[in-house]
A and B are shown apart, each in its own frame.
Chain A
Amino acid sequence: MNQILLSIALFLRASTGYKKSKTFIRDILTNPNNPQKKYVDISIIFLIVTSVFILIYEVKHSVPQWLDFYDIYIVSFVFSVEYILRLWVHNDITETIIKEHKESEFLGRQFMPIMVLKEGLLEKVKYMFTPSALIDLLAIFPAYRPLRVLRIFVLFRVLKLLRYTKSINQFTEVLSNKKFELLTLLFLLFFIVMTAGIAIYVLEEQHNPNIETLFDALYWALVTISTVGYGDISPVTPEGRTISILVIISGIAMISFATSVIVSAFSEKLSELKENRIIEQVNKSKSFLLVCGYGQMTKMFFRHYGEEYDNYIILENSQERMEQARKDGYDAIFEDASRFETLNKFNTEHCDITVLCLTASDVENIYITLNAKSISTSIRVIARANDASMLSKFEHAGADHILMPNKVANSMIHTAITQPTMYKAIHAILTGKSIARIDEIRAYECDAIVGKTIKALAFKEAKLLFMGVQHNNEFIFNPPSTYIVEKRDILLVMGREISLDYFKSLYAKEC
């Protein structure tokens, strides 16, 4: 028996298909950063909404057979599959069995897979009793037709929405922060309702035809204290009315207290909620910029090019500057980019992230570079270095590009002095705005040009100046016209933007 369990576990672990599918399903069900998750979410929400719609429609109309079929089988089937999958990916029993086997071999004790199997299963059972799992399970029940009362369980499907809509989750999260206040309030409410209910029961049970049981009295107390006041039960004796007055006054106090607690909970969390929204939004995009620091450099960058970048977030660790950035109309959040938690919030797995370290302090920029690279080496870092002596440190930290404002400015001044006519030209090329853009044509993005000679490519027709080719990390200036373009080559051309677009359109589709 033990051996069978072990070989099953080993077989499953060796199977890449099993592992892959498990990771895939876990990711798509539970990782909010997975771009495909939204399709799953939308389809489940669709099933829930249609199912509830059918429930409402059914009250007064007879439902066509196919709709009934859809409701009973398809919706419930999908929900059951989802339930089972969630249960499956909740934990890894195979791993624990193998671990147990290794440990027992190491210690020379008897291999007891049943124990760990039990533990693993217990873990799954525990999961089954979590509120969200219970809701999932109850949402499947309406499929069982013989019991009509189970139809109302369709409403549990509405509760399932909780899992799929972020804002409701945030609402509960915000309220859970005020747990203590709300619990106190609830206790107070319970106390007043009980006291007032019992009092009215004792005082009016004999005189008031509407109050027959203690339940009636408690119901009256709750209706009154909540200021709903249906009026179906009302006190008839002066003593009862006195109690009413007290209950009403305490009711007003309690409602205002509850409102203020909830409002303050939200206002405290508002900026955090807003920031989370910005992060979520940007995490959904394919690639984005994280700009650290809102100083002169960032301001200048956004002033010139802000419109060209849609997906970005400015991270600023000074409240004042962060507010300034927001006032200037940019998406900024109050966060310290040198903290692991900050950068870890971003979807490093599915997005191309470029971090711009533009704070005025070199130390901070190096720290941010290290932080970004420690989270994922795939994050591209462009760092600003003020001091030339810091250059090697930035290189060690792993910055992909190091920008030295002083050096850039110095070389521009140098050009402006030594080659005054050229300065304008070079400046135009560097800013890339004019007719003299220097641009890259990446052969791998443009299959049609691979395998062709330079002579055969229509540079002249497109009025482009072909300058050279980057081949195996080496730049070949003005290669012979018989040079054949390879897949990994990058062609360097100069010309107007329309020329470049025209050139690309000539070799269209793949470009």
Chain B
Amino acid sequence: MDKQKILLFGYGNHGKYIAKGLVEDGFKVQIVESSETFYQNAIEDGFSHASKIDVTKDELLTALKPETYTQLVCVMDDEHLNVFLTLSLRSLFKTCYILAISDSIHTTKKLQMAGANKVIDLYEVSANKIHNILNRPIATQLLEEFVVHKNGIGFKELLIPSNSFLNGLMTDDIDLSTYGVLLVGLIDEERGHHFEFITAGINHKLDSGDTLVCIGKEEKLQAFEQHIKKKEA
């Protein structure tokens, strides 16, 4: 996978941690801040290319060349500024993928109206989590560990190469547990570019170009990724 470039607006409460995580995962992160303190924090944390600009000025935003980035992430601490920034970016760059964070119920709607492709509502995800803890405490905890790859178990997206042995096989006939991985779901390009869970009960025909989403131990996943490149099982 090519190194993805992320333009991160805001290095406050959220930006700081997101930037760190992204860098660890090998993403190229460009930080933009308007507050002097947060900008200094970013510099101290090693983001020497961080830029400090007034994000309300359109010409300064254009100068950042947002269209060259894979995603624009708006996580400014000031929620008014965040909404305004999302709106400016959307009006300047129609096709960019914008992800924004919302700190309150009312802001979520405003961000969506401003044109964010995805809004993550702090309170909504937390409310979900409370509900999960109450009903499925262990599953919740484990799932979170999977997401952050704690204990070595995690999810992985695997693209089926053109001459893989998986080509033409049906999902009901394959058993990946022998490889130490479990098939959670897939993107079956024949059925459209969207993710489907294996538990939906559809018997998919695998083709090259389809994406498998598997869960398993890190090393097993990597071994399996190599394995599917082979012609024979």
Contacts and interface: CB of A to CB of B under 8 A. Distances in A.
Interface of A: 289, 296-297, 299-301, 303-305, 308, 354, 356, 358, 382, 384, 401, 403, 405-419, 421-426, 428-432, 434-436, 438-440, 463-465, 467-468, 470, 475, 477-478, 481, 490, 492, 494-496, 499
Contact of A421 (B122, B197, B211): B211
Given A418-B27, A426-B147, 5 more contacts: A416-B99, A422-B195, A425-B185, A463-B199, A464-B199
Interface stretch (B32-40, B52-60, B130-138, B161-169): B130-138
B111 interface: no
A296 B123 contact: yes
A362 B195 CA distance: 39
B118 interface: yes
Interface stretch (B41-49, B81-89, B148-156, B222-230): B148-156
Contacts of A490: 138
A412 B75 CA distance: 13
B18 A413 contact: yes
Contacts of A440: 136-139
A242 to B, nearest CB: 72
A272 B155 CA distance: 53
A413 B27 CA distance: 14
Contacts of B198: 465
Contacts, number: 190
28 contacts: A297-B123, A297-B126, A297-B127, A299-B105, A300-B121, A301-B127, A304-B131, A403-B126, A403-B130, A408-B122, A410-B18, A411-B144, A413-B75, A414-B18, A416-B118, A417-B6, A417-B22, A417-B71, A417-B73, A425-B195, A426-B147, A430-B132, A432-B132, A435-B199, A463-B199, A477-B153, A478-B177, A496-B200
B128 A430 contact: yes
Contact of B182 (A300, A384, A467, A475): A467
Contacts of B142: 438, 468, 470, 475, 492
A289 B144 CA distance: 24
A289 B135 CA distance: 12
Contacts of B21: 410-411, 414, 418
A481 B177 CA distance: 10
A477 B218 CA distance: 12
Contact of A410 (B17, B124, B197): B17
Nearest to B14: A410
Given A417-B27, A421-B213, A438-B139, A296 B104 contact: yes
A430 B129 contact: yes
B133 A382 contact: yes
Q: Which 9 A-B pairs have the closest CB atoms?
A: A301-B127, A300-B123, A495-B199, A300-B127, A405-B126, A409-B122, A436-B197, A414-B21, A410-B17
Contacts of B115: none
B25 interface: yes
B199 A436 contact: yes
Contacts of A410: 14, 17-18, 21
Given A405-B126, A411-B147, A465-B184, A305 B99 contact: no
A478 B216 contact: yes
Contacts of B137: 401, 440
A429 B136 contact: no
Contact of A438 (B25, B120, B143, B216): B143
B201 interface: yes
B186 to A, nearest CB: 10
A416 to B, nearest CB: 6
B14 A419 contact: no
Interface in B160-210: 177, 180-185, 187, 195, 197-201
Contacts of A358: 130
A429 B131 contact: no
Given A300-B127, A413-B14, A418 B25 contact: yes
Contact of A439 (B123, B131, B136): B136
A384 B142 CA distance: 19
Given A408-B125, A413-B75, A463-B201, A301 B101 contact: no
